Structure 1
Amino acid sequence: MFTPTTWRKSSYSGGGEGNDCVEIADAPARIAVRDSKAPARATLTFPAPAFLTFLETLKPRR
Structure 2
Amino acid sequence: MNGINLNNRHFLTPSEAAKVLSVSRSTVYRLISYGEIPAVNIRKAKRIPVKAVLEILDGLQNP
* Coarse TM-score class (shorter-chain normalised): 0.3 to 0.5
Give 1 or 2: higher strand fraction: 1
TM-score (norm 1): 0.34
Relative contact order higher in (CA < 8 Å, ≥ 6 apart): 2
TM-score (norm 2): 0.33
Task: Tell me which structure has the larger Cα radius of gyration.
Answer: 1
